[in-house]
Structure 1
Amino acid sequence: MERIELDEAKLQGQAEIWRYLYSFTDFIALTSAVQLRIADIIHSNGGAATLSQIASCISDGHTSTDITALARIMRLLVRRKIFTIHPPSDGGDPLYNLTHSSRWLLHDSEQTLAPLVLMENHPWQMAPWHYVSQCVKEGGTAFKKAHGCEIWDLASRDPDFNKLFNDGVACTSKFITSAILSGYKQGFNSIGLLVDVGGGTGGLISEIVKVYPHIKGVNFDLPHVVSTAPAYNGVSHIGGDMFHAIPNTDAIIIKWVLHNWNDEECIKILRNCKKAIPRENGKVIIVEIILKEDGSGVFDDIGFLMDLVMFAHNSGKERTEAEWKKILEGGGFSHYKIINIPALVSIIEAYPDA
């Protein structure tokens, strides 16, 4: 009996390795669905479409869609519960339907992850993964080993990559912003001037100002980033470098920025934040993942995947509360509180030491 259990465990272990070995195919199938706009096709067809209907919409009129290849991709995505398939009541061809997952792949939705899927699958983003083990042996940044420069340098000189990166980041900003506004309702009431450090093209600060019109908003990022930012009512765009100085303000919000940098760099940014806000009633609103090593929440596992993304793409990392406490103290913010919001990230409200 013990021998049978050992054999079953060994087979299960083998199956697990097979699964991890080819788990990249899940991502490729998902990316294909986004590139082919399959979710959009089903959505525009009233929420259900046959394989032939999907294929005809994919065809651009110059080529014929390989419906067999499409069927194979859809078969895997149905198994992964990205789409569902049901026989129609009239006995015709099976119908594919959207799920809660595939609705996040709609290109024109306010809540979409499609641009992030396209960004992460781009060869520029995939290449660094082949250097991860080399970084373990030698140190350094995988992205730089792959491309000869840091990710920010490539974005500053390559407009196509800059747009790809900004679009990927901006799509997450929309629904995380919604979570911030719903979970941090009282936090903005006493703020007159708010600077969004590393605010990208200004999506977050524009939404905050829209809900709290008494706030004067400043979107602060690198010059090549703010140069592509649209105009928003109540928001000024300022180009600069957070490692040198941050505009003086009542409060700072810094969303998904510190995880891009190592501890020493984060401390330098936080010290500049401290210089920019008043000692009394000033605060920094940090929006980041907080790793929970034994966490079983809906997003807790994603944090550890994101940590390796940081490892591959820059010198940053995701952090536990103890790790956040260390850099906050180093930056001059010994006092803080954590506010949970309905998102992958949490809010750390930090107050400057006297």
Structure 2
Amino acid sequence: MESKNSIAAKYQPAAEEEALTLLKLATLFTVPASLTALIRLGVIDILAAAQDTAAMEMCRTRRFHSASQIVSHPKFTPLSPFTAVDSAASALDRLLRLVAAHGLLDSISTTTGCHAYSIYRISNHLVQPSETSTASIAPFFTLVHDPVLLRCFDHMEQAVMSTEVSPFYRKYKTDFFSYASKDPQFNNLFNMGMVSHSDFLMSALLRIYHGFDGLTSIVDVGGGIGVCCSKILARYPQLKAINFDLQHVIASAPRYDGVEHISGDMFVAIPKADAVFMKWILHDWDDERCIQILKNCLAAIPEKGKIIVVDIIVEDEVERTSESCVAYQLDVMMLAYTGGGRERTKQELNDIALSSGFRRVRFACKVHGMTVMELFKSPV
């Protein structure tokens, strides 16, 4: 007969893994918080500048920097006169090793006993955007970890217990977009975050999706400051492109060759074009308002026109893939920030499209976890 100790030993590894999983989840917020701090401090830029991109592509030796070397770098965010360099380096090393443990940096131990760090290819997308950098998603990290948004998660149980208003509305006594229109600093942060994600996404989307072929004009509804339009025109210069958004957004839009900025309200009317493009718009709104937007889109296009929707799709069954986790996480963000917005299933999006008067829906492709779908006015 087995002793109690031997029986307990059989279950110990599983119990240990469960305990570690729970502790990892409880403290998981430290990873994006640390990564955002490294971006703001200029650490990722310093590590990236030290590398030979061509050499990295060929898997050659990379250069590693210790926290002390980074703190002493001229491009490191200046320390306070009261900050000891050794103390700052010690604290920085603790952030670096956490991020490295999650696979976003490489690390080695030096002969002096300290750690040194280098970037992987994935880290290049966290370099602050510039004329020479690859598509950067760093401003998006900064946006989603801004205190204005993080405060909405202080009491997420309220989103379950009282569904009448979002946690964002409860916190700021106004809706998300009205808040942005009254806070220029946050509005700029939001615009730059959306720019970085659009820049990151559109390069890949335009390589995979060819639904702009044959069009002569397009309007980007909720297009922010016009990055998607500029990317589309770079590939399809024959197009006439309209970037359409609220006045306070258009006010800060730069000039792009071939792009006309028009301000207005998508719930009232949308400029006419062969096709309407919408990225990350429908997920901001409840079904009723999505239908209202789509009806206005329907009125803006000709009989053979179409709507190109780029949005997250949630699978019918709960899955544990990275793609599904991204969808669920964004869905909870919509729960926190909007009054009825959500990520939807294929069936839910299909139902909304048909209820708006569209005759046919085609799910064209996926890129970076987002689905490109086409809504047609004509059944054929």
TM over 0.5: yes
Q: Does the Cα contact within 8 Å between 2:93 and 2:115 map onto a contact in 1?
A: no
After superposition, the Cα gap between the structure-2 partners of 1:59 and 1:144, relative to the gap in structure 1 and judged at 3 Å, is: closer
CA distance in 2, matches of 1:77, 1:61: 21
- Residue 106 of structure 1 is matched in structure 2 by 127
Local SS of the residue matching 1:86? strand
1:203 aligned to 2:227? yes
Local SS of the residue matching 1:241? coil
- Residue 314 of structure 2 is matched in structure 1 by 291
1:183-332 mapped onto 2 (5 Å cutoff) = 183-185=208-210, 187-279=211-303, 281-292=304-315, 293=317, 298-315=322-339, 316-332=341-357
Q: Does the Cα contact within 8 Å between 2:247 and 2:263 map onto a contact in 1?
A: yes
Which letter does structure 2 place at the counterpart of 1:16? T
After superposition, the Cα gap between the structure-2 partners of 1:118 and 1:61, relative to the gap in structure 1 and judged at 3 Å, is: closer
CA positional deviation for 1:131: 3.1
1:161 aligned to 2:179? no
Which letter does structure 1 place at the counterpart of 2:105? F
Task: Identify which of 151, 156, 159 aligns with 2:176.
Answer: 151
CA positional deviation for 1:13: 2.6
1:73 aligned to 2:91? no
CA positional deviation for 1:60: 2.0
- Residue 40 of structure 2 is matched in structure 1 by 35
Local SS of the residue matching 1:32? helix
CA distance in 1, matches of 2:109, 2:23: 32
CA distance in 2, matches of 1:274, 1:62: 56
After superposition, the Cα gap between the structure-2 partners of 1:2 and 1:318, relative to the gap in structure 1 and judged at 3 Å, is: farther
Which letter does structure 1 place at the counterpart of 2:177? W
Unaligned runs of 5+ in 2: 1-5, 52-62
After superposition, the Cα gap between the structure-2 partners of 1:244 and 1:75, relative to the gap in structure 1 and judged at 3 Å, is: same
CA positional deviation for 1:344: 2.0
- Residue 78 of structure 2 is matched in structure 1 by 60
CA distance in 1, matches of 2:14, 2:283: 38
CA positional deviation for 1:233: 1.1
- Residue 172 of structure 1 is matched in structure 2 by 197
TM-score norm. by structure 1 comes to: 0.93
Show CA shifts across 1:109-140 (max 9, x none).
33112111111111101011123211211112
TM-score norm. by structure 2 comes to: 0.87
- Residue 54 of structure 2 is matched in structure 1 by none
Percent identity over the alignment is 33
After superposition, the Cα gap between the structure-2 partners of 1:59 and 1:326, relative to the gap in structure 1 and judged at 3 Å, is: closer
1:333 aligned to 2:358? yes
CA distance in 2, matches of 1:326, 1:333: 10
Q: Does the Cα contact within 8 Å between 2:274 and 2:306 map onto a contact in 1?
A: yes
Local SS of the residue matching 2:241? strand
Task: Identify which of 123, 138, 141 aligns with 1:117.
Answer: 141
Show CA shifts across 1:283-302 (max 9, x none).
00001111223556653321
CA distance in 2, matches of 1:333, 1:5: 59
Local SS of the residue matching 1:346? strand
Which letter does structure 2 place at the counterpart of 1:20? L
Show CA shifts across 1:186-208 (max 9, x none).
x1122111000000000001111
Q: Does the Cα contact within 8 Å between 2:246 and 2:263 map onto a contact in 1?
A: yes
CA distance in 1, matches of 2:147, 2:242: 34
- Residue 49 of structure 1 is matched in structure 2 by 65
Q: How many residues align?
A: 351
After superposition, the Cα gap between the structure-2 partners of 1:157 and 1:68, relative to the gap in structure 1 and judged at 3 Å, is: same
